[in-house]
Amino acid sequence: MSQKDPFLVIENVSLAFGGVKALTDVSFSVNKGEVFSIIGPNGAGKTSMLNCISGRYHPGNGSIRFKDKELINLKPNERSVLGVGRTFQNLALFGHMSVLDNIMVGRHHLLDNNFATGPLYWFSSAQKEELNHRREVEDIIDFLEISHIRKKQAGTLSYGLRKRVELARAIALKPDLILLDEPMAGMNQEEKEDMSRFILDLNEEFGMTVVMIEHDMGVVMGISNRVMVLDFGRKIAEGLPDEIMANEHVKKAYLGEEDELLMEEA
């Protein structure tokens, strides 16, 4: 359960590509320990917002503060060091590498040894460090129930399993805040139920705060503490799941696209 202790604060963030406005004066905050979902029709600006938080995009104006530190001028890797991790809507795995090695990549910023100590692997702390990191990765593999594919090439896996590996790599970063961009996309019902369980466990047992984009309204309303709705780059609603379901502005935004699903799940 979330505490009223905001540690991600977005204020008046706007983003434009040429003359096209992707986000306009969007403000919201996420409490520590919360599952916070961002929903909206296609093209509403949801992924653009995650990209602003993670550092892929740089807003034209506004403020993004994480744990009281301004992120706007920080690079993505600097935000990772502060404890911001993410997955992508379009998978960003290394297809030729094994599942184990893909997850190890997620721990790169936690490595103490570098190119100078690497050649001294057998005579320095590098060997011990690698063993410790591999133990951490094996724990993540067990947690996500993917031990049976740990040595397989990521590119040979089904879409649902690749999504799980991408989540594993994000977890390997040991983030305090994890940004999930459509973690259920392309999954069947059983896979969605598994992923929902993993997300809740990350939140409740690992203490990770979750900001999630997801189109499956059943999932969103079932696991979120609060929900924000974007439409054409503007925030049109924010509140508890039940409040969002009853909001007339939200229903209008979804007309012709997802209104029927919303009404079925209400």
Strands in 209-213's sheet, in edge-to-edge order, are: 84-86, 177-181, 209-213, 35-39, 226-231, 234-239
Question: May I ask the CATH architecture of the domain 1-83+175-266?
Answer: 3-Layer(aba) Sandwich (3.40)
Q: How high does pLDDT run on average in the chain?
A: 86
Q: What is the pTM of this model?
A: 0.85
- Confidence (pLDDT) at 227: 97
First to last CA, the chain: 22
Say if residues 49 and 13 touch (Cβ distance below 8 Å).
Answer: yes
pLDDT digits (tens, 9 = 90+) for 79-92: 998 999 998 876 67
Q: What angle do CA 87, 213, 257 make, to 5 degrees?
A: 135
Q: Indicate where the chain has its CATH 3.40.50.300 domain(s).
A: 1-83+175-266
| Confidence (pLDDT) at 185 | 86
Q: Where does the pLDDT of residue 107 fall: very low under 50, low under 70, confident under 90, or very high at 90 and above? A: confident
Q: What is the pLDDT of residues 117-171, one digit of tens each?
A: 455 444 455 566 666 778 888 999 999 999 999 999 999 998 889 989 999 999 9
Report pLDDT for 1: 45
| Residue 249: band (very low, low, confident or very high) from pLDDT cuts 50, 70, 90 | confident
